[in-house]
């Protein structure tokens, strides 16, 4: 029986987030997972419903990837992003779903290690926990 690859969704801000993601992509980095990027103007634009919807649509884990809090291009956007992620984690806990499936990461555009590190962490979570509701083979 072959398990499908973990499905990860990453909301990246179009500033430091995307820059860091692209920087690591240029190095030819491969992942043992299906990673889908969703570009947003700022991680402060990410709403709880976007994260929940991604999980509903089949993501095993979701992360939000934005500027370092002291260096957000839009000043306090990534702070908002963190708060939204925190709220979704709380909601997931309350319905018995592992809050580790959702995470917030911050990086500067020159941090080539940051995006792979984030993906790596979420892939580990996805492999450990499996798809929500278990045993989904597609």
Question: Which residues are at the interface with another protein (CB under 8 A)?
Answer: 47-49, 52-53, 55-56, 91-92, 94-97, 132-134
Residue 76 beta carbon to another protein: minimum distance, rounded to whole angstroms: 12
Residue 19 beta carbon to another protein: minimum distance, rounded to whole angstroms: 30
Residue 61 beta carbon to another protein: minimum distance, rounded to whole angstroms: 13
Comparison of 28 and 134: residue with beta carbon closer to another protein:
134
Comparison of 28 and 133: residue with beta carbon closer to another protein:
133
Please state the three-class secondary structure of the chain as a single string. CCCCCCEEEEEEECCHHHHHHHHHHHCCCCCCCEEEEEEECCHHHCCHHHHHHHHHCCCCEEEEEEECHHHECCECHHHHHHHHHHHHHHHHHHCCCCHHHEEEEEECCCCCCHHHHHHHHHHHHHHHHCCCCCCCCC
């Amino acid at each position: 029986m072959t398990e499908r690859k973990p499905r990860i969704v990453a909301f990246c801000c179009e500033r430091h987030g995307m820059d860091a993601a692209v920087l690591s992509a240029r190095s030819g980095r491969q992942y043992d997972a299906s990673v889908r990027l969703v570009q947003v103007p700022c991680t402060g634009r990410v709403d709880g419903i976007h994260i929940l919807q991604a999980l509903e649509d089949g993501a095993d884990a979701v992360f939000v990837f934005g500027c370092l809090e002291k260096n957000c291009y839009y000043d306090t956007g990534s702070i908002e992003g963190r708060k939204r992620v925190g709220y979704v984690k709380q909601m997931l806990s309350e319905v018995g779903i592992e809050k580790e499936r959702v995470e917030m990461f911050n990086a500067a555009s020159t941090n080539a290690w940051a995006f792979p590190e984030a993906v790596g962490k979420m892939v580990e979570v996805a492999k450990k926990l499996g798809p929500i509701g278990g045993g989904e083979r597609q």
